[in-house]
Structure 1
Amino acid sequence: MKAAYTKPFLTAALIVLLDQIIKIWVRKNMFLGEEIHFLGNRGMLRYIENNGMAFGMELGGEFGKLALTLFRIVAVCGIGYGLVYLIQHKYHRGLIMMVALILAGAVGNIIDSTLYGVIYHYAPLFHGRVVDMFYFPLLTGNFPAWVPVWGGEDFIFFRPIFNLADSAISVGVVLILFNQKRYFKQPEPEESQPHSEMVED
């Protein structure tokens, strides 16, 4: 691999490192459910742990948890292989960087779900919980009574609590979708130029 393509891997490694530093700090300095406000009531750290996917979604039961962790490991291997393939075939560097972000996010959450249960002595291997902490309830209120299904219920945007790994995955996926025409543009064939002939008088 060319030296220029080491940047995506270094970026991914940095994201994984920062993600784990934040999670370890939160575990050591906050208790479950504690909040530290840094943007008033519109931005805060709120320490939670979840058994599932990004933004707190999860599969039910112990089998669901194990299946999800194993799926994550297989997915990371696939993404890693894909990243190497993109580099070897000289795809758009923006696409390569976005895939590196997705890989970093997946690895960051795999560390939690695979090892945290063993490291912190609360669950066997592959049954750890993912640490989440960033919470930005930017808009709050109530749905009007006339709104179907949710009428009268509380409204919060943005409700999910997430971590840096989740953010890396989301940014990578969204930017790939927005830039797919540029990232997957087929190179135009070079036009052959006729050899110019020197005409002597």
Structure 2
Amino acid sequence: MKRNLLIALIIIANIAIDQISKVWVRANFIYGETKEIIGDKFIMQYVENKGAFLGMGSDMNPTLHFIGLKLLPLLVLLYVIYYVYTNKNLNKLSVVAFSCIIGGGLSNVIDRFLFSSVTDFFFIDLGGIFKTGIFNIADIAVTTGMFILIFNNFIFKKKQKESA
């Protein structure tokens, strides 16, 4: 019960934080408007992404767009929810990671179903060292979940080797 509550809370929190931030951006920015947050290094710019990562797939025909950017991601996320709830062998870090991925993924899928695009607004440019595309809170949740899974996998394998 405690584990299931943790999963649900993380998923709901990720969706809520992302959706609230998107509502705020849509209400307080003009489309395309840019505001510097930390100089020209951390910027907010309101865009609507009709595709996936960095706009890929935005020019797909409507049927492929529906299947590839709405239906398929939703089905995959529903399977991951099933997997996390039913696989009791997952350690706590993996549960947190998968829950972040699910929450962020579902929030972007919600945007695609409601608006046929995803609201993006963060941009980082560290002067040639590191530069991102425009992203949102859901993208941060998914990326964080992926990094946690990778990190956890290395730790888990190291512990397995040590105990063997």
Is the structural similarity TM-score above 0.5?
A: yes
More helix by share: 2
Is 1:167–2:155 an aligned residue pair? no
* Larger Rg belongs to: 1
- Give the secondary-structure state (helix, strand or coil) at the position aligned to 1:133: strand
| Aligned twin of 2:111 | 112
CA RMSD in angstroms, aligned pairs only: 2.2
- Give the secondary-structure state (helix, strand or coil) at the position aligned to 2:132: coil
Give 2:31's aligned amino acid: L
**Preserved contact between residue 74 and residue 109 of structure 2 (Cα < 8 Å):** yes
Greater CA deviation, 175-184 or 162-171? Answer: 175-184
Consecutive unaligned residues of structure 1, counting only runs of 5 or more, are: 117-127, 141-155, 190-201
Q: CA offset at residue 134 of structure 1?
A: 0.5
Taking a change above 3 Å as real, the CA distance of residues 64 and 157 of structure 1, as seen in their structure-2 partners, is: farther
Percent identity among equivalent residues? 28
> TM-score normalized by structure 2?
0.87
- Write the deviation string for residues 37-94 of structure 1: whole angstroms up to 9, x where unpaired: 11110001100111122343325232332122111111111111111123xx242100
| Aligned twin of 2:63 | 63
CA separation in 2, counterparts of 1:53 and 1:83? 24
CA separation in 2, counterparts of 1:139 and 1:85? 45
CA separation in 1, counterparts of 2:70 and 2:4? 29
User: How many residues are matched?
Assistant: 159
**Preserved contact between residue 55 and residue 166 of structure 1 (Cα < 8 Å):** no
Q: CA offset at residue 4 of structure 1?
A: 4.4
CA separation in 1, counterparts of 2:90 and 2:108? 27
Is 1:139–2:127 an aligned residue pair? yes
Q: Which has the higher contact order (CA 8 A, sep 6+)?
A: 2
Q: After superposition, where does 1:1-201 map in structure 2 within 5 Å?
A: 2-58=1-57, 60-67=60-67, 68-86=69-87, 89-116=88-115, 128-140=116-128, 157-183=130-156
Taking a change above 3 Å as real, the CA distance of residues 38 and 26 of structure 1, as seen in their structure-2 partners, is: same
**Preserved contact between residue 45 and residue 133 of structure 1 (Cα < 8 Å):** yes
Q: CA offset at residue 35 of structure 1?
A: 0.8
Consecutive unaligned residues of structure 2, counting only runs of 5 or more, are: none
Give 1:33's aligned amino acid: G
